[in-house]
Amino acid sequence: MSFKLFELLVQASIYTVAISFVSILIGFAIAIGLSGAMLSKSRLFSFPANLFVSFFRGVPLLVQLLLIYNLLPVIGINVPSIVAAIVGLSLCTAAYQAENLRGGFASVPHGYIESAEMLGLTPAQAFMRIKVPIALRLTFPALVNEAILILKASSLMSVVGIVELTRMAQDLAGSTFKPLEIFAAAGFLYLVINFVVARTGGLIERSLPGVPR
């Protein structure tokens, strides 16, 4: 395979990583609110949050992307394909991250919450300053794993017209008639990307403070 073809795959892989990274960050922000709502004693918050998580964990990402891509214009929102793809990936990963964080929040020692209340922290302050850091430490390996899964699942973005790594590999394989070489190179790039993510996640995890007992 020529260097030019490999360069095109590398460019597509950078595009894939960028979209996935933005989606994961947006999804994490949504997941924090969702997980808190899931643990709420009020059905007004817990029911919609659990319904959201059940839907986006239960429906295949491919179907979600197609629904979002076709739904937005129907309700009068015309956005580029990349926005629809980011919305779809963000909502999907938010559901999985929320479930991971919910387990982490449930494992936070109750004594720390009581101490926060004695110090005069509001529930919102206790949530952000006490629960979120501890839950993040407890669930960090699962969150890194979810990031890797989203990077691989980003190959489905091609259904809404995004030329990411897999779509680029398909196009190049069709035009060069060298599918084995092209897809082997694409697989190698996915492997490198996910290896870097896993190693970086491991380094960050080791630098995080331990969970208080």
Task: Tell me what the mean pLDDT of segment 147-165 comes to.
Answer: 92
Query: What whole-number distance in Å separates Cα of residue 210 and Cα of residue 213?
Result: 9
**Calculated CA dihedral for residues 128, 46, 44, 121, nearest 10 degrees:** -20
* Positive or negative torsion for Cα 210, 211, 212, 213: negative
Kindly tell me the number of DSSP H helices and DSSP E strands found in the chain.
9, 0
Mean pLDDT (the chain, rounded) = 90
C-alpha distances (whole Å) from 71 to each of 55, 61, 91 are: 16, 15, 15
Domain boundaries, the chain: 3-207
Domain range 3-207, CATH architecture: Orthogonal Bundle (1.10)
Rounded to two decimals, the pTM is: 0.89
The confidence band for 180, taking pLDDT boundaries of 50, 70 and 90, is very high
Residue 125 has what pLDDT?
A: 83
Residue 110 has what pLDDT?
A: 78
Q: pLDDT tens-digit profile of 83-124?
A: 999 999 999 999 999 999 998 888 887 777 788 778 788 877
Q: Among 41, 91, 42, 45, which Cα is nearest to 64's?
A: 91
Q: pLDDT tens-digit profile of 28-64?
A: 999 999 998 998 889 999 999 999 999 999 999 999 9
Residue 65 has what pLDDT?
A: 94
Structure tokens at 103: 């387990």
Residue 211 has what pLDDT?
A: 57
Residue 173 pLDDT exceeds 70:
yes
Q: DSSP secondary structure string, 127-189?
A: IIIIIHHHHHHHHHHHHHHHHHHHHHHGGGGGGGT---HHHHHHHHHHHHS-HHHHHHHHHHH
